[in-house]
Amino acid sequence: MKFTKLHLAGFKTFVEATDFLIEPGLTGIVGPNGCGKSNLIDAMRWVMGENSSKTMRGADMDDVIFSGSNQRPSRNMAEVRLVLDNSDRTAPAVFNDAELLEISRRIERDEGSTYRVNGREVRARDVQLLFADAASGARSAAIVRQGTIGEIIAVKPQARRRILEEAAGVAGLHSRRHEAELRLKAAEDNLLRLEDVLKQIETQMDALKRQARQAVRYRGLAAEIRRHTALHALVNHREAGAALAAAEHKLEADLVVLADETGRQAEMARLQAVAAYELPPLRDAEQAAAADLQKLVLARETLDGEEKRARSRIAELERRLAQMNADLAREQSLIEDAASVLGRLDAEAAELGDMSAEDGEAEKRARENLSLAEATLAASDKALGEAQTAFSTAEAQRATLAQGLRNEAERLARLEAELEGVRSNLARLRSEFDTADNEADLRQVLEAALAAAKAAEENMVAAEAAHAGARETESRVRGPLQAAEREAQRRETEAKTLSNLLSAPTGGSWTPIVEEISVAKGYEAALGAALGDDLDAATDAGAPAHWALTSGEADPALPDGVEPLAKYVTAPETLARRLAQIGVVAKA
């Protein structure tokens, strides 16, 4: 077999599909560093079945896929195809029917590789055997890379033997031999397993024979049971027949009694229907009379209220009218006083005119008196204007009050007329009853209803008083009750703690830590309140719930005057940190 062509697509630096022809003779590849010359050799080794990412100069096998550059995006797939000339028919028998062999390997990111030979999917092992028969392969000495000659010279004898076997073309036979040995080993293991299975089957056969004997016995017992069950069912059938005859006889007697009772019930139903037919008119009449009576009572109460409001309104208006009259009289007296003052001032002014010929001192006094008189006159004029304004206002209020008085009088007359109409309606309704007994009955019903309402009101008042008393009693008793509950809870905690401290262990694989604790007298309750159910935990690390030793160097100190519980409790070291952080203070 000869290599004729190498096809690469997406493999390392070969992002585009590239065909590399291998012509007869010597083929050389020339180029600068980093142009991809070594990638061609890596591609040939990779398609021959190389599975080591380190050998392919990568951290992962997905690194052989083109990872992208500044100008090109990355690819998700890489494929390498190697075409072989098999015209001499030296390939393995499975692939020796074609003159050209196309071996391809395709990898997709995060999904692994697939191998194909002439389009048919094969195993990686088949591809490796194909190249091993051709004295080649991914790790063959026929592929010389940098440092290979030095490795061959310094190789160990065993590795040198593999090189010679590969050169002799027997490497594939060794691979097949190894595979055949593995298969023979697997077959031997299967034979041993088969012998174990046969022994197990023989054991199961003995058990099945015992089960078969038990099944035969079971069938016999089952037939006996069925026979006895049939006999029992026959006895039950005969007893049931006798019970059925007795029940039929009793049924006939009960039917006779039922017919009598049915006739009596039908008669009672007829009487009930007659009474029910006569009852609705009586109930309707009673309801109509009660409704009319209620309407009359409500109308009377409404009219009484309107009359009281009208009378109070009239009294208010009369009071305000009397007040207005008194204010008017007061203003008139003020006006008269102002007029008298004005007349006196006019007389003084005349006297001052007669005395104008006197000396300058008299003139000066006269002028002063004139100024005083003029000021008094201005004040009098102002008071007169205010009095006239107040008089006009009082007259307007008096007129308004008089109009309101007339309106209230008209309303009172209208209410009295309505009250008279209600009274006439009440007399008419009373006259509609034929006898005095109906009215007496209605009065009796009304009095009973009023008495019931009064009793209900009294009961309600009594119930409210009782409710208030109960609330007061509850608030008075709640304080002692809560104190008693707290005391009971404290006593229960102390009892539980003492029980944990004094009782012996009842079993289990781990000893509770309470068995390793000694407490000063009087501090048992404090220990139980602080630790509670944690006293049941063990110190063994294998227990489901256990105490563990931890460092308490960063724990804060207790306040001043507070003593640690560890001072009064002797316990294992694992409990020291917990006890050191629990404070004991004097009871207030």
Query: Please, what are the averages of pLDDT over each run of 10 residues along the chain (588 residues)?
Result: 87 87 84 83 86 81 84 88 85 78 89 88 82 70 64 70 64 69 88 89 89 92 92 92 91 90 87 81 80 80 79 77 74 70 68 58 60 63 61 63 67 69 64 51 58 60 61 63 64 60 52 81 78 79 79 79 84 82 77
Nearest partner of 286 among 294, 296, 275, judged by Cα:
294
What's residue 301's pLDDT? 82
What's residue 505's pLDDT? 46
What's residue 239's pLDDT? 92
Residue reference for tokens 């009378």 = 311
Between the CA of residue 242 and those of 137, 229, 251, 253, 446, what are the distances in Å? 101, 20, 14, 17, 69
Q: What tokens were used for 205?
A: 């056969």
How does strand 2-9 pair with strand 77-85?
antiparallel
Nearest partner of 47 among 112, 135, 150, 137, judged by Cα:
137
DSSP conformation class of 72: S
What is the C-alpha to C-alpha distance for residues 557 and 573, in angstroms, rounded to an integer? Answer: 19
* Cβ neighbour number for residue 172 with a 10 Å cutoff: 20
What is the C-alpha to C-alpha distance for residues 67 and 109, in angstroms, rounded to an integer? Answer: 11
Between the CA of residue 113 and those of 64, 335, 566, 578, what are the distances in Å? 11, 130, 69, 61
Three-class secondary structure of residue 209 per DSSP: helix
Between the CA of residue 50 and those of 46, 124, 137, what are the distances in Å? 5, 9, 9
Nearest partner of 539 among 501, 564, 571, judged by Cα:
571
Q: Is the dihedral of CA 539, 540, 545, 549 positive or negative?
A: positive
